[in-house]
Amino acid sequence: MSTNSQRLGKYELLERLGQGGMAEVWKARDTLLQRYVAIKILHANLQEDPNFITRFEREAQLIASLHHPNIVQIHDFQITRIPESTTPIAYMVMDYIEGGTLDEYIASTSARGKIPSPTQIVHLFTSMSLAIDYAHQQGMIHRDIKPANILLDKNNTTRNPMGEPILTDFGVAKLLGVTSSTLSASQLGTPLYVSPEQVRGYPGNERSDIYALGVILYEMVTGVPPFRGDTAVNVFTQHLNVTPTSPALINPSLPTALTLVILKALAKDPNERFASAASMTAAIAEALNMPVPESLGQAAYSQDEANMPTYLHSPWQLGTAPLPPSSTSGVDVINRAALHATPSAPSGGAQVYQVAPPRDGTAKTGDPQATPLPAMHSPSPPPSQQRRRWRTLYGVVAALIIIAVLGSAVLVYFLKYTTAQVSPALASAVVGHCFFVSSGQLNPDSAQGIADQLEIDLQNIPDPQSGKGYYAWLLPDRHPKAENDPLQPTPQFALPLLLTSSPLPVNHGRISFFYKGTAQHDNLFSLASRLL
């Protein structure tokens, strides 16, 4: 919105507080009630949808119906026109919360090696989980929970010294009628907190919000989010198919029970996550050897290790720091640790969790000290129970994976009119990677699908013999689910899918191939999990 217009009806615009891909937020004054408010103005390019006005009015009413002390209250919503524009402006008026965001708080504490105390963590998550569960009970899913969407009310520090958390942007993604498959990268915002099912193009549900809470908890106790990378696509594919580094490897002081809680919240399968935010917070309190807050009620949770992820070590190297994000020239790195100062070394002998090594070995003084998490034993789990379902291996090629083939080839090359076998030399030497690409997120002006393209990059490939060549296919799951999966879309293409009708080109021992996808921009990852 142009800053030339300083009024929207009875509201006087004072200061633009922030701007994102979907909206901008202003501090304003209600000239009739003489009070400050915050106004979220939706970007005009999102209003070209012919169903927008009807959906805006319906969803805004639902958002305004939420009444909870930890959810920002919506007071008004309007669609109006301003003199200098022929495009209607849609906006929502809400409480103005004075204070920072949880994103800023994490940047000044956890990201600098100063982990909040167990009491602070439990109280903070109690407030947030009560708000989230309340909204879920009203049929409202957030779908975009992240620290930047959690305001900290500095005028209310009774329970939380950093400020009482107030969740904002509830239901905005649905109000705009967009999902991760139709949003551009700028509209989707940071990919650090998005759930795997949303990356796959589904709208998400209550368990998607639980996943985002798990990412926030991981970040608060380690100082870094579980997945970082050079590009949004890189991070998306990690959410889909990469096991997060155990938080205990980054912060060795974490109790094992808390590590289990975090990994359960970050389960790839939504059904393996906590059933509610309150049950997750109750598990956090138990893991930290603290009483479960009475406000959570009888939140049911289980620390049954048979139903929790068992990745208590790094999938890459045990005993080492997590792998840093790869570097790509000219691309902004999505990594909170790179945005803030390196954590300082402990001073005065007090314990400060070091989530990243200092640039030098000199201890610095004057830094605020963190309250260390107490060392404790995790609660004894109940007897193991047989898993009710096995976890499907979602897309070997979906994540940005580096495949070192030691005993077999990543790409079995097929030679025209022959059944020749791959040589042992080839099987032991092929090294490469492949990953899905979402055209809609790479092109800010596009609203196309997600995981609709594929890139293959292989090295140490010998030239094919005369008249022969290499080909690549996408194959379906080797072991399809025995039961119907309601989330699985109806296939729009036949498998196996031949990616090219002509041989893959080999250039100095390297195959670099980009599959542009089908004409319908089908979600390849939702149906295929193997590359041949």
Q: So what's the pLDDT on residue 439?
A: 64
Q: So what's the pLDDT on residue 132?
A: 95
Which residue, 183, 228, 221, is CA-closest to 201? 183
The set of catalytic residues is 144
| Range from 125-139, 141-155, 452-466 carrying the lowest mean pLDDT | 452-466
What's the pLDDT band for 477 if we cut at 50, 70, 90? low
Q: So what's the pLDDT on residue 134?
A: 94
Q: So what's the pLDDT on residue 526?
A: 62
- Contact between residue 458 and residue 442 where contact means Cβ atoms under 8 Å apart: no
- Contact between residue 499 and residue 515 where contact means Cβ atoms under 8 Å apart: yes
Euclidean distance between CA atoms 310 and 8, whole angstroms: 54
**What are 164-218's pLDDT values in tens digits?**
999 988 766 555 555 544 444 444 446 899 999 988 888 889 999 999 999 999 9
Contacts of 29 (CB under 8 A, 6+ apart): 11, 12, 14, 35, 36, 37
Q: So what's the pLDDT on residue 386?
A: 37
Q: So what's the pLDDT on residue 347?
A: 35
Instruction: Compute the chain's Rg from CA coordinates.
Output: 25
Q: So what's the pLDDT on residue 21?
A: 67
With a pLDDT cut of 70, the percent of the chain lying above it is 60
Contacts of 69 (CB under 8 A, 6+ apart): 131, 164
Q: So what's the pLDDT on residue 191?
A: 86
3-class secondary structure per residue, 398-435? CCCEEEECCCCCCCCCCCCCCCCCCCHHHHHHCEEEEE
Token pair listed for 239: 């959410």
Q: So what's the pLDDT on residue 487?
A: 38
Token pair listed for 349: 């002998």
- Contact between residue 395 and residue 240 where contact means Cβ atoms under 8 Å apart: yes
Domains, the chain, ranges and CATH? 7-95 (3.30.200.20), 102-339 (1.10.510.10), 394-532 (no CATH)
What's the pLDDT band for 351 if we cut at 50, 70, 90? very low
For residue 334, the 8-state DSSP code is B
**What are 314-348's pLDDT values in tens digits?**
333 333 333 333 333 332 333 343 333 333 333 33
**What are 405-443's pLDDT values in tens digits?**
333 343 443 333 333 444 444 444 445 667 666 665 544
- Tell me the average pLDDT of the chain: 71
Euclidean distance between CA atoms 118 and 251, whole angstroms: 14
pLDDT higher than threshold 60 for residue 42: yes
- Contact between residue 74 and residue 137 where contact means Cβ atoms under 8 Å apart: no
pLDDT higher than threshold 50 for residue 311: no
pLDDT higher than threshold 60 for residue 78: yes
- 3-class secondary-structure state, position 46: helix
Residue holding tokens 């905005």? Answer: 172
More confident residue, 40 or 48: 40
